[in-house]
Structure 1
Amino acid sequence: MTPHDGTFVSQGGLPTRITHPEAGPLTRAVSLQSRVQHELGELRGEMTVLATGLGQVEATLNELRQQSASGLTAPVGQMREVAVRVARVSGLLGELDHALAGASDTIGSLRMERGRLQALFVIAEHLNATLDRGELLQRALDDLLLLVGAERGGILLADTTGGLKFEAARAANKQPLRRSDYTGAMSRNAIETVWQTQRPLLTADAQHDARLAEQPSATSAGIQAIMCAPLRADDRALGVVYVDQASRDRPFTEDHLDLLAAFCNIAAIAIQNAEYVQRLGNQVQEIKAINNYTDSILNSIGSGVLALDNSGRVTRANAASARILGLAMESLLGKVFDQVLNVLPDAEPIRQIQQTAQDADVTQFALVHGPLGGQGRAVTINVGWSALCNLDGVRLGTVVVLDDLTELATARREAEIFRRYVQPDVVDRVTRDPAGTDLGGETRDISVVFTDIRGFTKLSEELDPQVLVRLLNDYLGIVTERVLAHGGTVTMFQGDAVMAIFNAPHDQADHPWLAAQTAWEIGIAIDRYNQRTGNRAVEWGIGLHTGPALVGNIGAEGLLLHYTAIGDTVNIAQRLEEHATRSVILLSDTLYQRIATAVTARRIEDFQPKGKSHMLGAWQLTALR
């Protein structure tokens, strides 16, 4: 073997050969094949010369035979020429024999290299048959030990610090070796040399290597020969392969080192592929974990979230979106969103924002209401539409957010209906504070307004019921409007009678004055109504009083509640209303004293209210100042 593919160095006085990683059986096989072709060409030339010589000898012999048959004796010179030609042919035969022997040796070497290449090819297939890193290292060592006839071997791979980390070790019987059993017998000097120089190394006799004397473990283990080579792929150092031999009968040769270098090239690619696959697998797991985490977040959101690609196809959806749309998840994913819109009661507003939002960076909204397709249930859904872009601003698709407002819309409708039956301030109080629905109340200083229609019983007898109801509704509307205009609370409709209170549930410091204003404006509004309609005049009477009362929820617990005020203050206001004549507003003496400077009133004769033991003073309101 000529050192054309490597150089020789001396290690501890012993011959040590360092071979370039690219030199190996393939290079040698190509060289041998070239030599065989050259030698076969020379053999063809020599055989041509030999054939010519044999022809000349044959011609001379034929001539001699003819002369002998004629009884002639051949001249001496002619005989000598025959002898020279025979000698030349004999020499050519010798050269041919020598050339054939050389060609046979070359062909034998070529067959040997071919066998090694076949072995490396089988090993490459074997290593590439798995992408599991652990299994790959085991296979690599088992195949290598068989290939070079080593007894033990180990693989060390680069760690994150730039050093080497022990990964695997095997014996020739395919048994794994524990790190503690083998690393102490390995030559760290040989490993470090290969790692630093990135060149294969062969030590012929480890027992007498001066440089290994510093590591008695290798010597004491009876190691006779060591080979070590780097693992490289894409100009990147991956690690080192190390094998040793304790037997003197099968020493490592330069051919073995060539095989080791070639093997390392194959193994490095396989290891790199396994690392790529492992990293890819880790990335896939990370992506799965992120997706699962994202799905958990999306599924915890009450709003429906749909992700569309640039073609409008649904690529992702959370559970809420399927629930809101009343569709199965599998019928959402992969479907064009325009088809999903068909289940909505009115998809046209969404299609409009879909068009306007294509080139916009702002979120567009549309509200749809009506029966959900194929299900019959009415829904109210707010649809948000916004662009989905990456960090570079490149549009990836669209995010659609669905907010199911059905319950909210229902609650609002119910609240509006509720407000038609209950004073709005009371509704607001109850919705802000659930405790506002508890039975009971509080004692507050309030002003009470009582009003009703005079002669309503007679009107009921004379008017058509439809006309009577229309007149009553008009009257109650006038009263309620003026009460609400001044922040009062209507607590009762009883036939043609209306009761309203001020300073409850909200504080109103000037509630006596607000009650008087309200009563005065009610009278003016009814008189204008009579003039405007031309109908039979609605005659009214109003009574006002101020004082303490219990204000709160009265009724059947858990069944029906009524927000009102009870107490003597309410009774006195009602007695004043009953005592008032047609189109008269009566103020209690208590209320009048609190607003005397703001109104004009006439004192009436004291009277004894029904159910009262004492007389009651009152004032007739005649004007507001």
Structure 2
Amino acid sequence: DPRFGAQESIIAHNMRSILCVPLKVKNELIGVIYADNRVRSGIFTEASRNVLATFGNQVAIAIENARLFTSLRHTLAEVTELKNLMDNIFASIASGVITADVQDQITLCNRAAEEIIGQETPEIIGRQLDKIIPSIANDILPYLASMRETDEAITDLEISHTLPERGKVDWRLTLSPLKDADQKTQGVAIVLDDLTERKALEAQRRLFERMVSPAVIQQIDPDSLRMDGKRSDITILFADIRGFTSFSEKQSPEKLVSVLNRYLAAAAEAVLDEEGTVDKFLGDAVMAWYNAPVPQSDHTLRAVRTALAIRSAIEKLYLELPPEAQLGFGVGIHYGEAVLGLIGTEKKLEYTAIGDSVNTAKRIQENSRKNQVLISEAAYLRVKKHIYVDKLDALQVKGKSHPIKVYEVLGLR
């Protein structure tokens, strides 16, 4: 063949006969089959070429199949790895995730959903939504219908209900249409968050804020609580319900507590309105103080305004209570030094004020009459430009070697 006779490889290897056919798949060349003979020329015939071509076609198909199988296996490995990754991510999501088809039959749920609902995956998959969580079925089904009608997600849906194993729980749900690649809705995805613990903590904080001034709460670092105190100049207020002991002898415990709470609430609100701190309730009395932990230049005047506000609130209560429940407050106010800090143990703490000044305020209050506000001379000297008073006889009280000079507050100037 003049096309190849002069080729260097032909001469070097003394080729006498050569047969070569292409390997094609769908008209795409993927290789060749080559055969040669160095003894005889003309050994390959047309029939030989046809046989090799037929064989080549089968070889090409086999090679392509092997290549496709390798590619498929590699793709499958990638898909499996991706699926495992997605499963791990899905399982590790803190929020519960549930998917259901258009018939509300659950198709998927993660570990968080199991814990929130209180059931295992085999008990959940394949069942109807309203059968898995029947306690919220009446609440959630109308929203599911609305979501399907509008084809828009519904977010931050909060529901309170009762589970047999856990009692009252609070959940937040987000309902979203579950769409395929063509954006056709195939069901619903529900993201579920358990707010029970957070709601309980919020309720406890609200209760704490009703007992302790918000200013105190902001000053307390739970990670660095110290079992010691700090000396501060404060104004202390004691207010005690007058006539409560005799009143309590004639009332049922339920009515007694109801009336007591009305009076103590009026006193506590008056304290907090002046940014004071309600230290504690002592039976039918309340103790409060000012100028700590946040300094207040007019703290003694705030205490006086609180006492007068308590008296006004009591007068308003009289309009709502029967005559036998129309009690009153006796108030004592003193200014002096006290130690403020956490008292108790790490398991039970109380943020309070301790010192002789506290005892003095208490003794003054014990000597006040119904709806009478008494202040010590130390307190009076700080606010005398702002109030009207009557000077009273000094009090000789238990635990004090010298009489206590007191004034009755008549009003503000």
Return the letter of the residue paired with 1:463: K
Deviations along 1:384-411, one digit per CA (max 9) or x if unpaired, are 1012335764434422111122322343
Question: Does the 8 A contact of 2:209 with 2:217 survive in 1?
Answer: no
| Equivalent of 1:10 in 2, 26, 30 | 2
Which residue, 317, 325, 329 being the options, matches 1:529?
317
SS in 2 for 1:11: coil
Q: Which residue number in structure 1 is paired with residue 196 of structure 2?
A: 406
1:326 is aligned to 118
Paired position in structure 1 for 2:307: 519
SS in 2 for 1:463: coil
Partner of 1:564: 352
Q: Residue 296 of structure 1: which of 77, 88, 102 is its match?
A: 88
- State the alpha-carbon separation in 2 of the partners of residues 371 and 529 from structure 1: 38
Q: How much does 1:539 deviate?
A: 4.1
Whole-angstrom distance in 2 between the partners of 1:586 and 1:508: 21
Matched letter for residue 96 of structure 2: G
Q: Residues 537 and 324 from structure 1, CA distance in 2 versus in 1: closer, same or farther, beyond 3 angstroms?
A: closer
| Residue 519 of structure 1, CA deviation | 0.4
- Give 1:506 deviation, angstroms: 4.5
How far 1:481 sits from its partner (Å)? 2.6
Aligned residue for 1:273?
65
Compute the displacement of 1:440 (Å).
2.8
Shift of 1:412: 3.8
Give per-residue Cα distances to partners, 1:288-308, cap 9 Å, x unaligned.
Answer: 222111111111111111233
2:51 match: 259
Are positions 1:232 and 2:24 aligned together?
yes
Distance 1:436 1:356, change over 3 A: farther
Distance in 1 separating the partners of 2:101 and 2:245: 73
Contact 2:213 2:278 survives alignment (8 Å): no
CA distance in 1, matches of 2:9, 2:257: 121
Superposed displacement of residue 603, structure 1: 3.1
What is the CA-CA distance between 1:491 and the residue it aligns to? 1.6
- Measure how far apart 1:554 and its partner are: 0.9
Task: Report how far residue 215 of structure 1 moved.
Answer: 8.5
Asked if the contact 2:291–2:299 (Cα under 8 Å) also holds between the matched residues in 1, the reply is yes
Q: TM-score, normalised by structure 2?
A: 0.85
Q: Please, which runs of 5 or more residues in structure 1 have no aligned partner?
A: 1-8, 14-209
**Residue 543 (1) aligns with residue 339 (2):** no
| 1:436-486 deviation digits (Å, cap 9, x = unpaired) | 7553333333221111134555555x6345465554333323222322333
In the alignment, structure 1 residue 584 sits paired with structure 2 residue 372: yes
Cα shift at 1:510: 3.2
How many Å apart are 1:360 and its aligned residue? 2.8
SS in structure 2 of the partner of residue 345 of structure 1: helix
Give me the whole-angstrom Cα distance separating, in 2, the residues matched to 1:214 and 1:612.
Answer: 129
Q: Output the CA distance in 1 between the equivalents of 2:213 and 2:127.
A: 46
Secondary structure of 1:282's counterpart equals helix
In 1, the alpha carbon distance for the partners of 2:386 and 2:11 equals 116
Distance 1:385 1:242 in 2: 65
CA radius of gyration, larger in: 1
The more displaced of 559-568 and 467-476 is 467-476
Structure-2 residue corresponding to 1:553? 342
Q: Equivalents in 2 of 1:535, 1:528: separation in Å?
A: 15
1:366 aligns with 2:157: yes
1:236-247 equivalence runs, <5 A: 236-245=28-37
| 1:214/1:569 CA distance change after superposition, 3 Å | farther
Structure 2: distance between partners of 1:444 and 1:240: 99
SS where residue 558 of structure 1 aligns? Answer: coil
- SS at 2:275's partner residue? coil
Report matched runs for 1:582-621 at 5 Å.
582-621=370-409
Alpha carbons of structure 1 residues 301 and 357: separation in structure 2 relative to 1, 3 Å: same
* Higher-helix-fraction structure: 1
Equivalent position SS for 1:597: coil
Q: Distance in 1 between matches of 2:224 and 2:85?
A: 42
**Distance between the aligned counterparts of 2:48 and 2:358, measured in 1?**
117
Q: Which amino acid aligns with 1:612?
A: K
Q: Distance in 2 between matches of 1:581 and 1:516?
A: 16
- The residue type equivalent to 2:112 in the other structure is A
Corresponding residue for residue 291 of structure 2: 503
Q: 1:215 to 1:403 in 2, by over 3 A?
A: farther
C-alpha spacing 1:390/1:235, structure 2 compared with 1 (3 Å):
same
Instruction: Please tell me the residue identity of whatever aligns with 1:368.
Output: I
Which residue in the other structure is 1:381 paired with?
171
Which residue, out of 212, 223, 231, partners 1:423? 212
Paired letter, 1:235: N
- Aligned equivalents of 2:163 and 2:280: distance in 1? 41
**How far apart, CA to CA, are the structure 2 residues paired with 1:521 and 1:594?**
19
Residue 228 of structure 1, CA deviation: 2.5
Structure 1 residues 245, 351: closer, same or farther in 2, change over 3 A? farther
Q: How far does residue 578 in structure 1 lie from its aligned partner after superposition?
A: 2.5
Question: Kindly tell me: are residues 507 and 256 of structure 1, through their superposed partners in 2, closer, same or farther at Cα, counting changes over 3 Å?
Answer: farther
Which has the higher mean CA deviation after the structures are superposed, 406-415 or 440-449?
Answer: 406-415
CA distance in 2, matches of 1:544, 1:414: 31
Return 432-441 or 280-289, whichever deviates more: 432-441
Equivalent in the alignment of 1:133: none
Letter in 2 for 1:484: L
For 1:367, the aligned partner's letter is E
Separation in structure 2 between the aligned mates of residue 290 and residue 263 of structure 1, nearest angstrom: 40
Deviates more, 1:285-294 or 1:601-610: 601-610
Q: 1:268 to 1:397 in 2, by over 3 A?
A: farther
Give structure 2 stretches of 5+ with no counterpart: none
Query: Residue deviations 1:335-363, cap 9 Å, x none?
Result: 25435x44342211211111111133233
1:166-217 residue CA offsets vs partner (Å, 9 max, x unmatched): xxxxxxxxxxxxxxxxxxxxxxxxxxxxxxxxxxxxxxxxxxxx3134895x
Deviation at 1:548, TM superposition (A): 3.2
Does the C-alpha gap of structure 1 residues 266 and 325 become closer, same or farther in structure 2, counting only changes over 3 Å? same
Deviations along 1:518-552, whole A, 9 cap, x unmatched? Answer: 10111222234345532265243211123332222
1:349 aligned partner: 139
Structure 1 pair 364–527 and aligned structure 2 pair: CA distance change class (3 A) = closer
* Separation of aligned partners in 2, 1:547 and 1:276: 91
Q: Secondary structure at the match of 1:519?
A: helix
Q: Quick check: 1:476 aligned with 2:264?
A: yes
CA gap 1:542/1:266 in 2 versus in 1, 3 angstroms: same
Distance 1:282 1:310, change over 3 A: farther
Question: Residues 468 and 213 of structure 1: is their aligned pair in 2 closer, same or farther, counting only changes over 3 Å?
Answer: closer
Please give the root-mean-square deviation of Cα atoms over the aligned residues, in Å: 3.2
Helix, strand or coil at the partner of 2:72: helix
TM-score, normalising length: structure 1: 0.59
- The one-letter amino acid paired with 1:541 is G
Q: Deviations over 1:217-266 (max 9, x none)?
A: xx2xx765433322211122212223344565994333222222222222
Q: Indicate conservation of the 8 Å contact 1:368/1:382, yes or no.
A: yes
Counterpart-to-counterpart distance in 1, 2:94 and 2:52 = 64
Gap change, CA 1:310 and 1:455, over 3 Å in 2: closer
